[in-house]
Amino acid sequence: MARGLATLVGVLSLVVLAGCGQPSDPDLEKPFSAETRTGVIGKTEDLFGVKFNMNNLTVFSQSPTAFPRLRLAVRSENTSGRDQQNPDVQLVCDESPEGGDWYSGSTWEPNGLLANGLVNQGEVIIGFPRKPQNPRYVVPDCTAAHVSVIATDPSNGGTLTVNYPVGADLIAEAVRAPIGPGGPLPDRAG
């Protein structure tokens, strides 16, 4: 019995050691890349084969719960050769670790499916972030504000973030904007 057990342990040791000598998959060992850069309104960015352009950034009315909002006119085109998603879009401020939400009824949908060869153009309405301590309320200030456009590489999960600075004057104007409609939002007038 002891001899059989010793033989079994020896065979298992050889199997384990043989497995250790196998080359590993280098793609699985690479850390996901995360790149961040500053965007320019009107300049097209290549986000892993999705051409993205923010054409305009303006103030929109506040939400019915008094969250200031911005309106972004954007265009995305999938030139990658495969179906992808629009990038995520959010307003980021120093006062909150999370960005603001986008509003249902926007005519351009962050993270929406973007079929190969498709162009998606419209407006996305984004709000100020919520207070970290009480998410029912908006952050009291929005300093160092920027719109973050975040794309994920479908082949390896890496991310590319393009930050568009938002001026303090535009933030102050959004804070003073009147309360407006909820969602779905009405079509833009004019």
**What residue ranges do the domains of the chain occupy?**
33-176
The pair of structure tokens assigned to 59 is: 């103030």
**What residues pair up with 165 in beta bridges, in sequence order?**
146
The residue whose two tokens read 């009315």 is 61
Distance CA 71, CA 189 (A): 13
Q: Which CATH number fits domain 33-176: 2.40.50, 2.60.40, 1.10.60, 2.60.200?
A: 2.60.40
Looking at per-residue confidence, does 2 or 43 come out higher? Answer: 43
> Which tens digits make up the pLDDT trace of 42-70?
999 999 999 999 999 999 999 999 999 99
Give the integer Cα–Cα distance in Å for 125 and 112.
14
Percent of the chain with pLDDT over 90: 74
Mean pLDDT is lowest, of 10-14, 121-125, 151-155, for 10-14
Whole-number Å distance between alpha carbons of 128 and 142 = 8
Between the CA of residue 156 and those of 26, 48, 80, 159, 162, what are the distances in Å? 12, 11, 15, 9, 19
